[in-house]
């Protein structure tokens, strides 16, 4: 409603950060280039294990075949950083320190760096295992593709690292989404007594309270629980869900599992508040505690008094107030959800049809059974996941461009090798298949590492977010993650099209004569 706003300071910070990170990333290869002796760089090329290579002996020794001491130091340093990062991440999620966000962010970054350092140690065996099925390709193109991916573990690992990070974040989002949906389903199963739910097409427009009275008058209806939802800042924490409920009815449509105080106390005064047991524990609140509250739909802040705690959240948030309090604070007496409890033995399908007939004045409003209500709740989480995946897809595209660049440079470096392969009978199509196979191995290698990291990160986040309601809930969407891996393989093949075409078009005699 306010138009486009471009914060110049933030834009400058983004550009400066990009330039700085680029310079930092260039430091290691720049330093390595300065260490190559000029005489060694002028030497003629020598064959490398697994094929011919145009790389100089000095670079080949330092990159393709690291010493035992170098591997040991890489293993120790990478493991230390990864373990330290994981420990900081878990401490930030499950600890009670004031620097939780800093520990989570720094720990996740350190864990990614540690795994990236360790990648070259596992690149060769994993590339060999991933490329094993390619041995069935004709003309030994699959064997050559696998050998090329295994030849330089450092380069394979570095190329796959960007894809690893992107897919790790995508996988973490998928695990978190699946876990939150399962936790929501379990909460509805355990904390909701209603058989039917009425939702408006737009929560902002809501439903007139008169509709609840009309539904309550229908035969077969035992109770109708009105819910009025908003967000607010509770004790300094923003975006907290607050629900207005009828204290006299909510016990019939939801099993709140009251731990202390009572629901009826909500109606004693307009300033009373019912808090979930997990929120009360984290804030050290007890019955009688004063809580500063500022609701989004209200004009000012105030203080509410805790009159009870509950453990069965169901479809509610952590904070409940009475409908009277909600209307006085917000000035907007509209329902965002109606929970309908049927008379025992009443046919729910017939009751659903009668309630649907009352929604003519509310276009888009719908009556849902419990399964439909779960699906609608999960759809909101899916929308958030789809937005995250769309944003993270840009990182995956950038990673694929990295594979394109690496293969293009590889074609230039192996010009003489490709010429010799063509001279002994390899066809253009087989050259393209070899390059595509190498790209697919690199992409799947990065995808597998990313999935493993993402599952770990997502599981930790899900456990931290769902443990407040009892046992932590972690769900791994195996099929979805498998689709990501397969998609990465196909994306790797697409990334290889341009380098493969260039390799296939090389003039045989010119390539053989190249140095």
pLDDT tens per residue across span 358-371: 998 888 889 999 88
How many other CB atoms are there within 10 angstroms of residue 480's CB atom?
A: 15
- CA 31, CA 23: separation in Å to the nearest integer? 12
Instruction: Tell me the whole-structure pTM to 2 decimals.
Output: 0.78
**pLDDT beneath 70: ranges in the chain:** 1-2, 43-69, 96-100, 297, 299-300, 468-470, 514-515
Q: Residues near 81 by Cβ (< 8 Å), separated by ≥ 6?
A: 110, 111, 113, 114, 117
Paired with 320 in beta bridges are: 243, 274
- CA 513, CA 515: separation in Å to the nearest integer? 7
- CA 302, CA 287: separation in Å to the nearest integer? 18
Are 514 and 419 within 8 A, CB to CB?
yes
Q: Measured in whole angstroms, how far is the alpha carbon of residue 448 from the centre of its chain?
A: 15
Are 511 and 424 within 8 A, CB to CB?
no
- Structure confidence at residue 444 (pLDDT): 92
Q: How many CA atoms lie less than 13 Å away from 97 in the CB half-sphere?
A: 14
Residue 3: strand, helix, or coil? coil
- Structure confidence at residue 285 (pLDDT): 92
Are 500 and 432 within 8 A, CB to CB?
yes
Strand boundaries in 246-388, DSSP class E: 258-261, 272-276, 290-295, 302-310, 319-322, 337-342, 366-369
Helix (H) or strand (E) holding 442: helix 428-466
């Amino acid at each position: 409603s306010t138009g486009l706003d471009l914060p110049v300071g933030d834009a400058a910070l983004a550009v400066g950060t990009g330039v700085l990170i680029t310079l930092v990333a260039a430091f290691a290869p720049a330093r390595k280039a300065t260490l190559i002796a000029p005489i060694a760089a002028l030497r003629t090329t020598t064959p490398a294990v697994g094929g011919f290579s145009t790389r100089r002996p000095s670079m080949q020794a330092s990159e393709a075949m690291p010493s035992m001491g170098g591997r040991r130091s890489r293993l120790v340093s990478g493991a230390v950083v990864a373990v330290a990062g994981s420990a900081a991440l878990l401490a930030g999620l499950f600890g009670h320190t004031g620097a939780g966000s800093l520990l989570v962010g720094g720990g996740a970054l350190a864990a990614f760096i540690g795994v990236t350092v360790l990648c070259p140690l596992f690149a060769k065996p994993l590339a060999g295992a991933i490329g094993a099925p390619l041995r069935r390709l004709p003309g030994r193109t699959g064997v050559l593709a696998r050998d090329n991916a295994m030849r330089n573990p450092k380069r394979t690992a570095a190329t796959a690292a960007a894809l690893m990070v992107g897919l790790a974040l995508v996988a973490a989002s998928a695990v978190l989404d699946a876990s939150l949906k399962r936790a929501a389903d379990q909460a509805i199963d355990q904390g909701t007594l209603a058989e039917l739910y009425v939702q408006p097409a737009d929560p902002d427009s809501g439903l007139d309270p008169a509709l609840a009275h009309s539904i309550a008058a229908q035969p077969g209806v035992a109770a109708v629980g009105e819910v009025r939802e908003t967000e607010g800042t509770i004790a300094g924490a923003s975006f907290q869900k607050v629900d207005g409920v009828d204290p006299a009815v909510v016990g019939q449509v939801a099993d709140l599992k009251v731990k202390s105080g009572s629901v009826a106390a909500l109606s004693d005064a307009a300033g009373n508040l019912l808090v979930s047991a997990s929120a009360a524990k984290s804030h050290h609140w007890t019955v009688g505690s004063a809580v500063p509250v500022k609701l989004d739909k209200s004009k000012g802040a105030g203080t509410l008094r805790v009159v009870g705690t509950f453990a069965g959240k169901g479809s509610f948030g952590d904070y409940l107030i009475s409908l009277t309090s909600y209307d006085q604070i917000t000035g907007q007496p509209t329902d965002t959800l109606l929970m309908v409890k049927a008379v025992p033995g009443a046919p729910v399908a017939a009751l659903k049809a009668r309630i649907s007939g009352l929604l003519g004045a509310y276009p888009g409003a719908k009556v849902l059974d419990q399964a439909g209500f779960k699906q609608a709740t999960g759809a909101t989480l899916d929308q958030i996941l789809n937005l995250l995946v769309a944003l993270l897809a840009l990182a995956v595209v950038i990673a694929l461009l990295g594979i394109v660049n690496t293969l293009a440079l590889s074609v230039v470096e192996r010009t003489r090798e490709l010429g010799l392969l063509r001279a002994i009978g390899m066809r253009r199509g087989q050259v393209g298949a070899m390059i595509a196979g190498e790209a697919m191995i690199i992409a799947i290698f990065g995808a597998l590492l990313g999935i493993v990291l993402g599952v770990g990160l997502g599981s930790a986040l899900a456990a931290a977010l769902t443990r407040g309601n009892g046992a932590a809930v972690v769900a791994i969407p195996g099929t979805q993650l498998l689709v990501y891996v397969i998609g990465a393989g196909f994306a790797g093949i697409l990334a290889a099209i341009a380098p493969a075409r260039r390799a296939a078009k090389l003039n045989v005699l010119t390539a053989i004569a190249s140095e």
